[in-house]
Amino acid sequence: MKPRTFTRRQLFAAAAGGALAAAAGRARADGGGNDYDAEADLRNLRLADLTEGGRRFTLISPRYQNADKPIPLVVFLHGLGETTNERLGAYAWLEKYGLGLAWQRLKRAPIERTSKRGEWTDARLAEVNADLAARPFRGFAMACPFMPNPKGAPDHDAYAKWLETSLLPRVRKETNVHGDAARTYLCGVSLGGYVSLEMLTRLPSHFGAWAGVQTAIGTWAAEGYAQRIEKAGPKPMLLLTSTLDHWKTSSEALAAAFTARAMKHELRVVPGPHDQPWLREAGTIESLHWLDRLDRSEG
């Protein structure tokens, strides 16, 4: 199926009816409201709305990409709230979790606080900005597929097969991304963090790194995931949670299981709750920043 692409004017029209720039700024400062602005958040980015193998996904890539030079690919899985509607799921990271906004803030560092809730400590903000000053954000292609709510192993198997045989081949046909696992990454939030773990254990030869954001698993499951991932082979892993995340102990349990096996990983706890404003202010930026720091040499 031919991808649907959007002109700058169409994207601006799609955002019509939202708050004006000043109101959007206030919403961000207060840490509330869905203040997605297509015109601003997709600046210098291409958006394609695609369907492959019966499922919808969005593909976001940088306009400044050298056509002859492939870039890494990140597959982003969304949370529970968007599992009932393909359009909501395919656009969740972009419209609700601040994916485009995070990209713009990283590209135009230094990052400044836009929330009064305290997601950024002085020390962490200084650390990220110093790192970005030394190594500017490079970017990658981002595939955001709809993800149904799985009911068990057969659903996980079917979704893994779709990722392997439909999503990844289609993305590599649409844009110039690396074809190896070493530069193909997986990131999931909440329910998507859980599903991404299931995908990682089923497709270890397809993904070279994993980022779990407020991952929704039981603490009892941590040991089993660590065993399965260790068996599949080591790879960089990020466990990103927050101080008031109701799944925080699960990320900590998984980190402890990784540590016991000397498996390379990073556990980061950011101030704040388990909600979308937290993602838009800090969670998505932290995820993109970590993914962008990964070694891009051939694996």
The reply to whether 135 falls in a domain is yes
pLDDT, tens only, 25-47: 333 444 445 678 988 999 999 99
C-alpha Rg value of the chain to the nearest Å: 18
State pTM to two decimals. Answer: 0.88
φ/ψ (deg, to 5) at 117: -85, -15
Residue 296's pLDDT is 78
pLDDT, tens only, 252-267: 999 999 999 999 999 9
Torsion angle, CA of 44/49/55/59, rounded to 10 degrees?
A: -10
The reply to whether 42 falls in a domain is yes
The reply to whether 1 falls in a domain is no
Residue 150's pLDDT is 97
The reply to whether 64 falls in a domain is yes
Residue 280's pLDDT is 98
Range(s) of the domain holding residue 90? 36-292
The reply to whether 160 falls in a domain is yes
Q: Using CA atoms, how far apart are residues 69 and 74, in angstroms rounded to an integer?
A: 16
The reply to whether 70 falls in a domain is yes
Residue 29's pLDDT is 41
Residue 286's pLDDT is 99
Full DSSP string of 203-224: -TTT-SEEEEES----GGGHHH
- The count of structural domains within the chain is 1
The reply to whether 30 falls in a domain is no
The reply to whether 299 falls in a domain is no
Q: Using CA atoms, how far apart are residues 102 and 168, in angstroms rounded to an integer?
A: 24
With pLDDT > 90 as the criterion, what percentage of the chain qualifies? 83
Residue 34's pLDDT is 62
- The CA-CA-CA angle for residues 31, 135, 243, to 5°, reads 35
Q: Using CA atoms, how far apart are residues 253 and 36, in angstroms rounded to an integer?
A: 34
Q: Comparing C-alpha atoms, which of 159, 231, 232, 170 is closest to residue 194?
A: 159
Per the prediction, the chain carries an average pLDDT of 90
Give the residues of the chain that fall short of pLDDT 50. Answer: 1-32
Q: Determine the 3-state secondary structure of 239 from DSSP.
A: strand
For residue 154, say if its preceding peptide bond is cis, omega within 30 degrees of 0.
no
* CATH at residue 247: 3.40.50.1820
Residue 27's pLDDT is 39
pLDDT, tens only, 73-109: 999 999 999 999 999 999 999 999 999 999 999 999 9
